[in-house]
Chain A
Amino acid sequence: MKRRSFLLGGAVFAAACTRGPRLNVYNWSDYVAPGTVPAFEREFGVKVRYSTFESEEEMLAQVMSGNSGWDVVFPAEDFVGPMLKLGLLAPLRHDWIPHLDQLDPAFRMPPWDPELRWSIPYMHGATGILYQKSMTPAPTRWADLWDPRLHGKITMLDDPAEVLGACLRKLGFSLNSGDPSQLRAANAEALAQKPLLRAYLNAEARDQVVAGDIVAAQAWTTTAAQAMAAAPGHLAFVLPADGFARFADNVAILRESRRVELAHQWIDYLLRPAVAASIVAATRTATANAGAQRLLPAQVRDDAVLYPPADVLARAEWLEPQPVASQKLRDRLWTELKSA
């Protein structure tokens, strides 16, 4: 009996290992509509293995070996440079991406990849404060999250660059500062704030703000828009006056990919205005696709949370990759903060 079940197990295992070739896409969670992948599979007659990650480190750890099996990944702007240096990205062939002309002009020359040789902006967002409308006075700057009256009712993101970033902006320094004394001063702010915090949460904060457990949370625009849709009328979102971080998630093809042409077809498919619009409608994210924005209902298109006006965006900074020395100091400060 044992031998038979072993053979059976082996057969199942072998079958599981030899599924036909298919496109392997590794994306952030909540970044496509439920119908996006099946429609692509039907149209191109291929299978797509679509999987999601919650943090870029998770993604980088997988693809770093250069032998991970993924074809298409979605690094944020501060990961494009490092991944390029590690030799992980394949050059894009623009002649295979006819819908590239749908890209929002604001994203045609991003500072991290001005010629779009390695990556194409997909979604974008910013970091701000999501809060209950009942909160008075309404927060306008990061400093408002240091208010002792909010004790136990605030969360910050569980992300060193974001927490230190908010503290740096509170003090008037750049988010990307590598200066040890500025970083230490920022960490002192974070330490002062920690007793007021309920927790450091990323996506879980959404549910807790919706349920009313939390009054104010440092949150990404996408999380905020989803929370506001779930609790209409109760929540508001502000991009702080003392400056904030912007991010853009980009689509890129890995050098290791053996299905480069299919990967380009997938990218071009995502850039089709109708496809991009359906994704935005389902996930409430901010697309970098101008054609899609025209197709969206006015109320989504004019959502000031997802598409902040230019004068607000003028206060924003893109997160940049840190050199090793300042990365090391930031790691240490983060550990100090967490263990305080």
Chain B
Amino acid sequence: MRLVLALYALLVFAFLNVPLLILAVFSVNAGRFTSWSGFSLRWYQAMLADGNLMESAMNSLVIAGVSTVAATLLGTMAAYAVWKRKSNWFSGSLYLSLVMPEIITGISLLALFQWAFRFLRLQLGMHTVVLAHVSFSLAFVVVVVLARLRSFDPSLEEAARDLGATEYSAFARVTLPYMMPAIIAAALLAFTVSIDDYVITSLVAGIDSQTLPMVIYAMARRGVSPVLNAVSTTLVVALGVLILISHRLRSL
């Protein structure tokens, strides 16, 4: 029984990971097609030489960085507020925005921006993308941080107050350190959903804010390109390193 289960798990792990492994293998294939024709880094060179790809990757990093910081700050505060005074209404809307089909989030944000921009002479651009990313990653942050807070004993904070700590320092020196692992995990999650998003971004992006997934989509629509294999492998490795670093941070 155990063996069957283990074999089964192995199969599913393979199902999940082998497609990406194959992309990685073919990213160092010299040929264009699905037959092996020798080792080569030419697709990585082509990737680095592609100005559009590099600029969009830079945009993605800036957008993901800024929106992660903002969403983590706001989301942590929101989670703390929700934890302090329970609100069913709020948590309902939280879950709704968590599972809302992306296309609807994107379209409703676009509608909001266009309506607001009639009054403020503004254009779609980096700022609208960042706003959109903050708004959809906020829910993820709140959920992760809230889950951690639910296992926190509120009397600890009260005890700190009784021992003479101000409200602020009780929060900063007792509650916040307890929340920290969840905050780091939440930030990481916010960063990954932000850097991965295509549907919402493509709707609210302006002329200066083409992101990496938008370029990837355009490339995939034009057919199989080995450069995409290289991009994919680079992404997995880069995010893997990031997650290892955050793991180290969390265990500090």
Contact = CB atoms under 8 A, between A and B. Distances in A.
Given A65-B117, A211-B33, A51 B130 contact: no
Interface of A: 2, 5-6, 9-10, 12-13, 16-17, 19, 24, 26, 29, 49, 51-52, 54, 62, 65, 67-70, 202-204, 206-208, 211
Interface in B201-228: 206-208, 210, 218, 221-224
A51 B206 CA distance: 11
Given A9-B66, A17-B126, A24 B207 contact: yes
Nearest to A207: B223
B114 interface: yes
Contact of B224 (A9, A17, A207): A207
Nearest to A64: B114
A12 B125 contact: no
B207 A203 contact: no
Given A29-B218, A67-B117, A70-B207, A9 B69 contact: yes
Contacts of B33: 211
A19 B126 CA distance: 12
Contact of B221 (A10, A17, A54, A67): A54
Contacts of A207: 222-224
Contacts of B207: 24, 26, 49, 51, 62, 68-70
B161 interface: no
Of residues A26, A51, A68, A207, which shows the largest number of chain B Cβ atoms within 10 Å of its Cβ? A51
A2 B62 CA distance: 16
B117 A12 contact: no
Interface residue tally on B, bucketed by range: 20 to 34
B252 to A, nearest CB: 12
B2 interface: no
B218 A49 contact: no
Contacts of A13: 62, 66, 126, 130
B31 interface: no
19 contacts: A6-B70, A12-B65, A13-B62, A13-B126, A24-B207, A26-B207, A29-B218, A51-B52, A51-B207, A52-B218, A62-B207, A65-B117, A65-B124, A67-B122, A67-B123, A69-B207, A203-B222, A204-B222, A206-B223
Contacts of B130: 13
A203 B123 contact: no
Given A51-B52, A207-B223, 4 more contacts: A19-B208, A62-B206, A65-B124, A68-B206
Interface string B58-73: 0100100110011001
A207 B228 CA distance: 15
Contact of A69 (B66, B125, B222): B125
A68 B110 CA distance: 13
A208 B34 CA distance: 13
A45 B124 CA distance: 27
A134 to B, nearest CB: 19
Contacts of B65: 9, 12
B123 A69 contact: yes
B204 to A, nearest CB: 11
A69 B126 contact: no
A62 B128 CA distance: 14
A52 B50 CA distance: 14
Contacts of B114: 65
A6 B69 contact: yes
A49 B221 contact: no
A323 B240 CA distance: 53
Given A49-B208, A51-B210, A29 B66 contact: no
Contact of A204 (B70, B125, B223): B223
B117 A203 contact: no
B42 interface: no
A237 to B, nearest CB: 18
B29 to A, nearest CB: 15
B127 interface: yes
B85 interface: no
Contact of A5 (B52, B69, B208, B222): B69
B223 A6 contact: no
A203 B208 contact: no
A168 to B, nearest CB: 27
A52 B55 CA distance: 14
B208 to A, nearest CB: 7
A68 B69 contact: no
Contacts of A16: 59, 62, 126, 208
Of residues B52, B114, B130, B218, which shows the largest number of chain A Cβ atoms within 10 Å of its Cβ? B218
B242 to A, nearest CB: 14
A246 to B, nearest CB: 23
Contacts of B206: 62, 68-69
B62 A68 contact: no
A208 B33 CA distance: 11
B65 to A, nearest CB: 5
Given A29-B222, A67-B117, A2 B208 contact: no
A207 B70 CA distance: 42
